[in-house]
Amino acid sequence: MDNQAVGKRVWEAVGGEKNVNSLVHCATRLRFKLKDESVADTQKLKQDPDVIQVVQSGGQYQVVIGSNVADVYQAIVDEQGLTDQSGTEDQSKNPLNRLIDIISSIFTPFLGAMAAAGILKGFLSLATVLGWLSADTGAYQILFAAADGVFTFLPVMLAFTAAKKFKTNQFLSVAIAMALVYPAITQLAGAGGAVDFFGLPIVLAQSGYTSSVIPIILAVWVQSKFEPLVKKVIPQFLQMIFVPMIVLLVMVPLTFLLLGPIGTVIGNGLGSLFNSIYSFSPLVAGLIMGSLWQVFVMFGMHWGFVPIMFLNIEQYGFDVMVPMLLPAVLAQGGAALAVAIRTKDTKLRSLGISSTITSLFGITEPTVYGVTLPLKKPFVVACLSAGIGGAMIGFAGVKAFSSGLVSLLTIPTFISTNQAVESNVTMAILATALSFVLAFVGTLIVGFDETVQDEKLETNQQTTAGDTISSARHNLKSPLSGKVLPLSDVPDKVFSSGAMGKGLAIDPEKGELIAPADGEITTIFPTGHAVGLTTKDGIEILMHIGMDTVELEGQGFETFVKQGDQVKAGDLMVRFDIEAIKAAGYSVITPIVITNTEHFADVLELNQEELIASEDFLAIVK
């Protein structure tokens, strides 16, 4: 693979410098934050032979490359002269998307270092249990420092990446984190003595803030709000010295007095919530996490569990979630291996074998997007098999004693000098092996539709988990970007009553109306305020821009199509001036209805709050 050529193709396809806000990467994906995802040529990327899949989730535009993603990322950085993940802040109003984006942006940059340290820590535990290395030797102490240092001083790494995400001074953030893990402070916490700041009591956990997660993230977020205020009141020529000094003077005591305890309470609450569910039924917890983990990964929701893993280790010294996930990773590899053995297609066989190997080392995206998910049945079999293994691990109470990328190399992290190896590691190996075998045998028995997969391999247009396309269902693309409203909220009884047909309304953020599907323009008013389109499947769509805007007699509207024109999905039909329309006293809320609703089994909304033009927004069930 020519990494530079791949990087150039991807960069151009996502819209280049004019459309990219930021770029980071994880183990297999380039994670873009785009100004307008509709600008990106998703179809072109899916057809690229070096792109495994494209996923739009969690407010990110993710291009799945595979194990050499770091090289492609570096090629883009070098070619485009990028220095960091700078760009405008994400304006998504979806709280879940914003939370997932924040967590992934903060943890992704040091994922490799964390995984390496966790695995090394596990191997050191194995070495001491087997008598290969004594904990009293200098060699052990040095290697343990390399393994444990990442976790002990985790707040420092979090401060650096959080500062990049929240766009504040990284070195000041690191300075705050260093104060939290300063040895004298940690010793005070361990001693359990009373600590105060000018008479104000400070609450410290027994281990202080070493290995903590939420307190420093919360502190950096507050710093990002406080620092600009300080800059406004300090003259420019004094800012270099006095701004950092004031920030440290305020933020460090504030963190110890307020933000740290709040973060600790939040962290303990999250950890307790999961552990309460786990305590209720470890078997059910393992079944759920094992079965659904790959689904969480596909939607980017897995990042929401990452802080809980760290918090468990910080609070209890171990984590029970990571072991449950190992069957979920290896089961996909088992299903992919079965596909490789059963298929007659040489390209699919090669992909199945290579993706099985990557799964063993914790990289499942090539397996899921390239093999199991497009074939559907192997993916389902793998998830069910993983659920069985996860349930066994949950029931046995398997624990991990350090964090790392979930893979075969994670198994040494299940070893502790204070717990018998047989009771922890053996069950993890047996349950994971069982999931792998069940997924392998199950896929051989259930099989898959190889004809369909052959066609998908030719076009490389695999269907993602978010797609709901079927022969009986047709998804329309949103003609506008903006906030979604039910038709009942439209201030016009003709539309709100449903008399015109089912649909929804959009409060547009951008004055461009595009075609929601391929079809023919059957109606367009001379004033440009309303357009009727009939798709090739016979779906009749009416798009009415604003309320009573016909009275503007075309002012603020510019049409680009005429009656009888054939259009493609995404073609610009009308451009309108939102501010001018509002200034004239008219609403721009735009109802979009299927006027021949009665010809179909149903017209379904997709329960979205915000839409980007060209995003799926209505499903027509035939």
Which residues are part of the catalytic machinery? 26
Give the residue from 232, 231, 224 showing the smallest Cα distance to 251.
224
| Dihedrals phi, psi of 101, to nearest 5 degrees | -65, -40
Question: What are the Cα distances from residue 559, in Å, to 215, 511, 524, 528?
Answer: 54, 12, 9, 6
Alpha-carbon gap, residue 515 to 541, rounded angstroms? 10
Contact 435, 385 (CB under 8 A): yes
Alpha-carbon gap, residue 584 to 578, rounded angstroms? 10
Cβ partners under 8 Å of residue 146, min gap 6? 117, 120
Say which DSSP state 319 is in.
B
Give the residue from 604, 555, 563 showing the smallest Cα distance to 580.
555
* Dihedral sign (CA 150, 152, 155, 156): negative
Hey, how many other C-beta atoms are within 10 angstroms of the C-beta on 491?
A: 11
Contact 44, 343 (CB under 8 A): no
Can you list the positions of beta strands (E) in 41-103? 53-57, 60-64
Give the residue from 359, 354, 356, 348 showing the smallest Cα distance to 294.
359
Alpha-carbon gap, residue 553 to 139, rounded angstroms? 83
**Side chain identity at 532, as an amino acid letter?**
G
Q: How many CA atoms lie within 13 A of 571 on its CB side?
A: 16
Q: How many helices (DSSP H) and strands (DSSP E) are in the chain?
A: 24, 20
Alpha-carbon gap, residue 221 to 476, rounded angstroms? 39
Give the residue from 237, 232, 107 showing the smallest Cα distance to 159.
107
Alpha-carbon gap, residue 455 to 538, rounded angstroms? 26
Give the residue from 119, 51, 612 showing the smallest Cα distance to 411.
119
Helices 239-254 and 170-180, axial angle in degrees (round to 10): 40
